[in-house]
Amino acid sequence: NAGVTQTPKFQVLKTGQSMTLQCAQDMNHNSMYWYRQDPGMGLRLIYYSASEGTTDKGEVPNGYNVSRLNKREFSLRLESAAPSQTSVYFCASRLQSRNYGYTFGSGTRLTVV
């Protein structure tokens, strides 16, 4: 099993450019999440999808949009990248939206210059 797969692993963007981070899971999980991790900080939730067809804002949604394409795929889009969005982005999934542990991907390291 591949688990949670994120692409790309690294990306450098110029301020104002757009891009989409891709995430796919093969564990038949219902819930998927996007987190960002900054140095010295814990992970902060950007958006999540409790089940296919639903999406909700997390703690830090500004500047991002998401799409739950199907049960397997959950993408994160930066419409106009800013240096403050330089971070490591993690996608995660779990069987249900509460009371289960996450399975995380290996992350996307994004630098906005």
Partner 1 sequence: LAKTTQPISMDSYEGQEVNITCSHNNIATNDYITWYQQFPSQGPRFIIQGYKTKVTNEVASLFIPADRKSSTLSLPRVSLSDTAVYYCLVEPTGGSYIPTFGRGTSLIVHP
Assess 105 for contact with partner 1 (CB under 8 A).
Answer: yes
Closest distance to partner 1 from the beta carbon of 56 (Å): 7
Pick the closer one to partner 1 by CB: 26 or 59: 59
CA dist 18 and 66 (Å) reads 13
Q: Which of 17, 45, 52, 65 binds partner 1 (CB under 8 A)?
A: 45
Query: From the list 85, 90, 110, 112, which residue makes contact with partner 1 (rule: CB under 8 A)?
Result: 90
* Shorter beta-carbon distance to partner 1: residue 16 or 95: 95
Q: Cα(81)–Cα(55) distance, rounded to whole angstroms?
A: 21
Are 110 and 6 within 8 A, CB to CB? no
Q: Are 55 and 104 in contact (CB under 8 A)?
A: no
Binding window for partner 1 (CB under 8 A); candidates: 13-21, 63-71, 75-83, 91-99: 91-99
Question: Which residues touch 67 (CB under 8 Å, ≥6 apart)?
Answer: 55, 74, 75, 77
